[in-house]
Amino acid sequence: MPEIPGARPVPLSHLTRAQDRVGFLYLEHCVVHRDANAITARDARGTVHIPAATVGALLLGPGTTVRQQAMVLLAESGSTAVWVGERGVRYYAHGRSLARSSRLLEAQARLVSNRESRLRVARRMYAMRFPDGDTSGLTMQQLRGREGARVRRLYREHAQRTGIPWRRREYDPGDFASGNPVNQALSAANTSLYGVVHAVIVALGCAPGLGFVHTGHVRSFVFDIADIYKADVTIPIAFEIAAREVADIGAETRRAIRDHMRDGSFLDQCVEDVKTLLGEDDDVVEYGPEAFDDPDVVMLWDYDGREVAGGVSYGSDEP
């Protein structure tokens, strides 16, 4: 039998865990291709090689042409491709990521489908934002009110710190340039954050659309998780960038978010937070040799709660 042409897939045991990857990489006006097990980005200035297995999310902006083999490599490497708009501030679609177990997905679906467990997880999410307050007895209306007051206070504090006039969060998703500098910076920062969080969620095998606080959107769970970090990541960085004289506020903000995440601690925190919220133990490893002893086992659900082996004929050969 002849060999299959092209580069061999990345061995599963060689893949980098989600929390150990680079958060995101934004590309625009270039041709994205593959060279062995690296993604290449080529424009008039030359070609850059990017190790695919170390990227969490590849944000593909305007003017990008993506070769089929580049997408194959990203899929094999467990990296997520996200198609975004100009300056990376609009989300269009994303490519699949590598997830070999449905454990977290099943836990997420079970928790979000029950009113009491959904409220319990939502309270946990808000508790992460209010470490000094007790959220255990609050209703969703009370939680939203407390969160709204907290965010408005943060905007005022950072506006005073950076000397920027502030009225309110105001932006047009279809017209990035119509916002003032700080609103542009907030939009760019939040979109970058969403891309990284989205990559973590799909890498862990969870459903981006099954949110606990947000609902009705294909990225509801992405918004749930991202909101946990805005106070520490996107809001302070956006106000700092807006206070400077920069030529391209979108690009400058993305670079600042990237630099903030460069040491990998954000990804590690995000992965652990998702697992904690869904009640999973720390021994769930989505990338690494431990996860791939038998990566393609498919079990069959049994009514009494058991799981039985798939790939077995349970019928009788007798007429």
Q: What CATH number does residue 56 fall under?
A: 3.100.10.20
Residue 201 identity: I
Q: Does 158 fall in a domain?
A: yes
- Among 58, 76, 67, 87, which Cα is nearest to 16's? 76
Q: Which two tokens stand for residue 57?
A: 């999310």
pLDDT in the model for residue 76:
75
Q: How many domains does the chain have?
A: 2
Question: 166 and 70 share a domain?
Answer: no
pTM higher than the cut 0.75:
no
Structural domain boundaries, residue 252: 103-277
pLDDT in the model for residue 227:
94
pLDDT in the model for residue 309:
66
Final residue of a domain: which of 94, 122, 147? 94
HSE-up (13 A, CA, CB side) for residue 96 = 7
User: For the stretch 205-215, what's the b/e string if a residue is b when 16 or more beta carbons lie within 10 angstroms of its beta carbon?
Assistant: bbbbbbbbbbe
pLDDT in the model for residue 279:
86
Question: 85 and 206 share a domain?
Answer: no
pLDDT in the model for residue 240:
95
Final residue of a domain: which of 38, 72, 94? 94
Question: 79 and 191 share a domain?
Answer: no
Q: Does 127 fall in a domain?
A: yes
Question: 245 and 159 share a domain?
Answer: yes
Question: 260 and 135 share a domain?
Answer: yes
Q: Does 298 fall in a domain?
A: no
**What are the residues whose beta carbons fall under 8 Å from the beta carbon of 236, sequence distance 6 or more?**
158
Confirm or deny that 147 is annotated as ligand binding: yes
Question: 28 and 114 share a domain?
Answer: no
Q: Does 312 fall in a domain?
A: no
Question: 187 and 144 share a domain?
Answer: yes
Confirm or deny that 29 is annotated as ligand binding: no
User: Cα dihedral sign for 11, 79, 251, 273?
Assistant: negative
User: Cα dihedral sign for 76, 79, 84, 88?
Assistant: negative
Confirm or deny that 227 is annotated as ligand binding: yes
What's the alpha-carbon Rg for the chain, to the nearest Å? Answer: 22
Distance CA 107, CA 167 (A): 41
pLDDT in the model for residue 256:
92
Question: 256 and 116 share a domain?
Answer: yes
pLDDT in the model for residue 245:
83
Q: Does 114 fall in a domain?
A: yes
Question: 90 and 110 share a domain?
Answer: no
Question: 118 and 216 share a domain?
Answer: yes
Q: Does 206 fall in a domain?
A: yes
Q: Does 115 fall in a domain?
A: yes
Question: 126 and 32 share a domain?
Answer: no
Question: 126 and 55 share a domain?
Answer: no
Q: Does 313 fall in a domain?
A: no
Residue 272 identity: E
Q: Please give the chain's pLDDT, 319 residues, in tens.
A: 345 444 454 444 444 555 555 567 788 899 999 988 788 999 989 999 988 777 777 888 889 999 988 888 887 777 778 787 776 666 676 666 555 678 889 999 999 999 999 999 999 999 998 877 788 888 999 999 989 999 999 999 999 999 998 888 877 766 677 778 899 999 999 988 998 898 788 878 899 999 999 999 988 999 999 999 999 999 999 999 999 988 889 889 989 998 888 776 888 899 899 999 998 544 333 433 333 334 455 666 676 666 666 555 566 555 5
